[in-house]
Amino acid sequence: MQSKLPNIGTTIFTTMSKMAADYNAINLSQGFPNFPIDERLQEILTKNVKENVHQYAPMAGLPVLQEQLAQLLEKRYHRVIDPSTELLVTAGATQGIFTAVQALVHLGDEVVIIDPAYDCYDPAIVLAGGKPVHVAMREDFTINWHELREVISQRTRLLFINNPHNPSGRMLTESDEQALVQLMNDYPNLLLLSDEVYEFIHFETPHRSAHDHEMLRQRSVIVSSFGKTFHITGWKVGYMVAPEYLMKEIKKVHQYLVFSVNSVAQKTLADYLAVADVSMLGQFYQEKRDRFRDLMKDSKFELLPCEGTYFQTARYTTISDQSDVAFCTWLAQEAGVAAIPLSVFFKDERDYQTIRFCFAKTDETLQLAAQRLCAI
């Protein structure tokens, strides 16, 4: 059979997590927390399991959850939306991204991806009949706007932006935001898909969202994730915000892809949003970032800036001249810690000898991992 995705194999996340299990390595590779969820969320879930919320939810989301999200957007970004026409609850951010691409990208359309990029972008574009166009960040994981402009044309339908950025942990600056706005102004038919799943996990640097700018609001699909925000990745619930003219097309695909999202999870999240404070999330993860960095200060790794997300990148040039894939394999098998090589996030597989650790772990896990890493 001829494959529609001939160059796609098992994801690096599956590969490294399996390697962690096979070699009893501490898993700092795949981005999932290993600590309990908020007790209040657990209690709300237990209560709702006993309620009459087990049948299909409305296609676009439970109205009570949509209303809570509209309030969150107004409080956080001073953006007032019509939740019935501009909001969609999705089965995770990845499903939301796939759905948006299927709805908005036509045969032959070009879609620009800034590498290193999350690995779900490219396959969604290919399956929609579009043409992925990749442009790499600089070695310090900042965007080269001159190079980005060179690949944008009238054929470009969609631009992907990921902020805070996975896998690098970097954040867009004010000058980045200005460059993005100017680019969108220069290409009035260009749409933006803003992947903001780590929007509440940022530290010293403020998060600059497409929600913040009126012009971007009118031409953007903005993707968010409850899994990242409330460390419930296994629930696979996210949401998207877009102007009505875009959301109308996205919903057409969504209704035939999943139709609706887990009803118990939606009701639980609606109740939890009424009492949760997302503004504390950055402080929570900053303490973990600082803890991990302090534990690693005597290691031979060079820790790079981490401004957001729960990922810490590190260079290992003083330890080995191996490729990052080979080094991560050695690290899991011999040092007992699993990490992610960054070259797999580049279309051209360029290797900056940089790897990614996830610090969304208990203090005990971070301490034990750091001990093994410092012993190298």
Q: What is the mean pLDDT of each run of 10 residues along the chain (376 residues)?
A: 85 85 92 91 97 95 98 97 98 98 98 96 97 97 97 96 97 97 97 98 95 97 96 96 98 97 98 94 96 97 97 97 96 96 95 97 97 97
Distance CA 332, CA 321 (A): 17
pLDDT at 20: 86
Query: Helices 63-77 and 263-273, interaxial angle, to 10°?
Result: 40
The residue type found at 79 is R
CB neighbour burial string for 89-109, b if at least 16 within 10 angstroms, e if fewer: bbbbbbbbbbbbbbbbbeeeb
Identify the three-state secondary structure at position 80. Answer: coil
Query: Domains of the chain (ranges plus CATH)?
Result: 12-30+279-374 (3.90.1150.10), 39-273 (3.40.640.10)
Cβ neighbors of 47 (< 8 A, separation 6 or more) are none
Burial of 146 (0-12, 13-18, 19+ CB in 10 A): exposed
pLDDT at 8: 80
pLDDT at 342: 96
Instruction: Give the global pTM.
Output: 0.96
Q: In residues, how long is the chain?
A: 376
